[in-house]
Amino acid sequence: MDTVRRQYRDLAEHIEALDAADLLWRIDEPVNKDSELHPLVRWQYRGGVDEADRRAFLFTNVVDGSGRKYDIPVVVGALAASQSVYGVGMVSDIDAIADKWTQAISNPVPPRVLNSAPCQEIIVEGDDLKGEGNGLDALPIPVSTPGFDAAPTLTATNCITKDPVSGIHNMGTYRCGLKAPDRLVMRMATRVGGAGGYVHWKKCKAQGVKLPCAIVLGCPPFVAYMGPQKLPVDLDEMHVAGGLAREPINVVRGRTVDLLVPAEAEVVIEGFVDPTVLEPEGPFGESHGHVALEELNMPMEITAITRKADAIIPSYISQVAPSESSVIKRVAYEPLFLDHLRTTLGIRGVKKVSLHEPLTGLLRISILVIEKGTSRTEVWRALYGAANFKGDMGKITIAVTDDIDPKNADSLLWALAYRHNPSEDLVVLPHRGQGHGPKREHGGEEDGTLLIDATMKGDMPPLALPGKEYMEDAKELWERCGLPPLRPESPWYGYSLGDWHDRWEAAARNAAASEYRINGDETLGRQTHQDLIPETSVRQVEDGWDGSS
């Protein structure tokens, strides 16, 4: 076997790094892969666990409902149970990930081809793939959505295909439902523009030849993160992975398909897709948060399964967001959106892009955080630019001022309630594709796009909560009293929104210092005998203020 020194981690080394960072839970008791495994991990996302407390799960004692025991562990959440887990995989602080992606795409590194590799330590092919308990049956592939899914399904895939004309490889993450020990059905997205693998399938169909495919499970993290990314179709993801690693990724040629696969992969499933045949696949709980109903998709006949001797099977926790797949996308997509708006379009007032994750799965609602004082023209350039950045994202795009927490629904509704005039600050755009969702993506039905400007249009009075210093002092008192742990929600203190006078600031200081009488003496000297009605603004009388900011 070729031995080449490398700096990047394989999956097993990545799991060790997660364990060292206290980001791994090890489950040694028997767990049924078809009815218990994914539901257990799902509680991490639906049980009120903060993202910072999420972990990867390593299952070392996997069984199924028939009593079969598997000698291969399963890991779930190892790539992106949380931003912290993603950061370990990228060997990077979260704040530096955007630059790391940009540098990798701009500076790709071609892979290094080996003659032999760890991913081919064990080889199963020919008749050994057939029969119950053999082939795919020997792999502990979980049922992702028990109660709805029709089969165990490969989810954490890097599916490698090759353009039959140009020879350029493509790597995408597609679900693959098991049908028999030597057959599965793959769903390569027929989205607008087509996933790379689907483009290759169409070209093979036109030529009347089968499509070679290698489904890789458990790539080194730098490679694994390529699958969910929506890179240009003709950009070889293995080269970009090398850019992330800043060194060549080791690859080896498949046993039965003329494709290059990661040498340190845990498992490689090789085979051919006949583009003249389709087979029912699903139902399956999809990442848009609904069950994808039964569709005709692409059957693949398995010609070989190769793996490491001590392989680990990865599986994504997906379906209703937040999930592992949504975190993978969010951490990478948000900085890409921001860079597009700030650098490509030159809208410097955009400070942050937040893609709403829970239940909507990133693709439907985009929130732009805009610096206070940014001109209305720039706000609307940002809204149009974000809505058109990706064809399947930004159905509802909202701009808010930078005091709003975009991840807090109450804050967003607050901005909509007080900073948004539906007759002036709302635009509906027609002719939008449906994109990834519960409706059929290839039926031609159009959708619309909603753009909302919920930014501050001028100065406003302060938020009516105690000032920051008083809330911080009160928090210390709370903790000294032994009251239940606090989880501050934004906004948790009051602050100026521009419409605030020095005189009022001084009066507030006096009141908090138990000196309200100083304020009373001051206002006594400002009494007036003018013929006015109560609730007349003091500024209108004393300063000639006309009500504008």
Interval 206-254: pLDDT, tens: 999 999 999 999 999 999 988 666 666 567 789 999 999 999 999 999 9
Residues 301 and 350 in one domain: no
pLDDT at 350: 95
Assess whether pLDDT exceeds 80 at residue 436. no
Main-chain phi, psi angles of 437, to 5 degrees? 180, -175
| Long-range Cβ pairs for the range 44-52 (8 Å, 24+) | 44/77, 44/81, 44/317, 45/317, 45/320, 45/322, 45/323, 46/320, 50/487, 51/82, 51/83, 51/322, 52/82, 52/84
Interval 70-116: pLDDT, tens: 999 999 999 988 889 999 999 998 888 878 888 888 899 999 999 99
* Distance set, CA 516 to CA 185, 473, 493 (Å): 75, 21, 22
Assess whether pLDDT exceeds 70 at residue 289. no
179 — pLDDT class (breaks 50, 70, 90): very high
Report which secondary-structure segment, H or E, holds 505: helix 502-512
**Separation between Cα atoms, residue 262 and residue 224, nearest integer Å:** 10
Average pLDDT over residues 516-537: 92
Is the CB of residue 248 less than 8 Å from the CB of residue 183?
no
Residues 301 and 276 in one domain: yes
Q: Please provide the size of the chain in residues.
A: 549
Residues 533 and 476 in one domain: yes
Residues 450 and 472 in one domain: no
pLDDT at 300: 97
Assess whether pLDDT exceeds 90 at residue 32. yes
Assess whether pLDDT exceeds 70 at residue 437. no
- Per DSSP, 269 falls in state E
**Separation between Cα atoms, residue 491 and residue 406, nearest integer Å:** 11
Residues 372 and 406 in one domain: yes
Q: Which residues of 452-486 are buried (b: 16+ CB within 10 A; e: fewer)?
A: bbbbbbeebebeeeebeeebeeeeeeeeeeeeeee
439 — pLDDT class (breaks 50, 70, 90): low
pTM: 0.81
Average pLDDT over residues 112-123: 96
Interval 367-406: pLDDT, tens: 999 999 999 999 999 999 988 877 667 789 999 999 999 9
* Distance set, CA 254 to CA 215, 219, 251, 259, 307 (Å): 11, 15, 9, 6, 12
CA 11, 231, 317, 367 dihedral sign is positive
185 — pLDDT class (breaks 50, 70, 90): very high
Average pLDDT over residues 486-497: 88
CATH number at 127 reads 2.30.110.10
The pLDDT > 90 percentage for the chain reads 62
CATH number at 434 reads 3.40.1670.10
pLDDT at 118: 96
Residues 416 and 497 in one domain: no
pLDDT at 535: 86
Residues 260 and 355 in one domain: no
Residues 290 and 360 in one domain: no
Q: Which residues pair with 299 in a beta bridge?
A: 185
pLDDT at 235: 72
Q: What angle do CA 400, 333, 452 make, to 5 degrees?
A: 25
**Separation between Cα atoms, residue 119 and residue 501, nearest integer Å:** 69
Is the CB of residue 428 less than 8 Å from the CB of residue 355?
no
Number of domains in the chain: 3
pLDDT, the chain, mean: 89
Domain range for residue 421? 345-454
Place of tokens 């005091």: 403
Comparing 145-149, 234-238, 460-464, 494-498, the range with the smallest average pLDDT is: 234-238
Query: Of the residues 388, 421, 454, which one is the last residue of a structural domain?
Result: 454
Residues 500 and 424 in one domain: no
122 found inside a domain: yes
Average pLDDT over residues 483-502: 89
H-state helical runs in 257-323: none
Average pLDDT over residues 42-68: 90
pLDDT at 444: 57
pLDDT at 115: 94
Average pLDDT over residues 270-276: 97
Residues 120 and 268 in one domain: yes
Residues 255 and 277 in one domain: yes
362 — pLDDT class (breaks 50, 70, 90): low
Residues 310 and 166 in one domain: yes
